[in-house]
Amino acid sequence: METHVRYAEEHEVMILLKRIIPCVLENPDMYLKMHLNYYRALNKNNRVLRYGMALTGNSICILLHVLSDNDFESIILNDPALDKIYELVSIVPFANLL
């Protein structure tokens, strides 16, 4: 099945990240703020937001590579391809997002 990747709205990114971040990090609020800053930078530069979400049928795949903050920053800022570095963390039915 073909995966269609599109830009995600900021509130959509928040919803998606809030679902998985609390279970992997001790300080999810700080991580959310950091993630949104990366989102804004990528979007401003017209780079596809692959870590936000990918639409596949009626589900949304949450793509997130969970590493230390330094590793994650390095990946986001220095890897222009982005598409080989993420792990599929969860598939959430679209209707259950809001």
Sort residue 41 into left (φ over 0), alpha (ψ -120 to 50) or beta. Answer: alpha
Number of domains into which the chain is organized: 1
- How crowded is residue 33: how many other Cβ atoms within 10 Å of its Cβ? 10
Residue numbers of the domain that contains 74? 4-96
- How crowded is residue 66: how many other Cβ atoms within 10 Å of its Cβ? 14
Alpha carbon distance 39, 44 (integer Å): 8
Alpha carbon distance 80, 61 (integer Å): 21
Contacts with 59 (C-beta within 8 Å, 6 or more apart), sequence order? 91, 92, 93, 94
pTM score, two decimals? 0.26
Per-residue pLDDT tens digits of the chain, which is 98 residues long: 444 444 455 565 556 555 544 544 455 555 555 555 555 554 454 333 334 444 344 443 444 433 333 344 444 434 433 333 333 333 333 334 33
Between the CA atoms of 64, 65, 67 and 69, what dihedral angle is there, to the nearest 10 degrees? Answer: -60
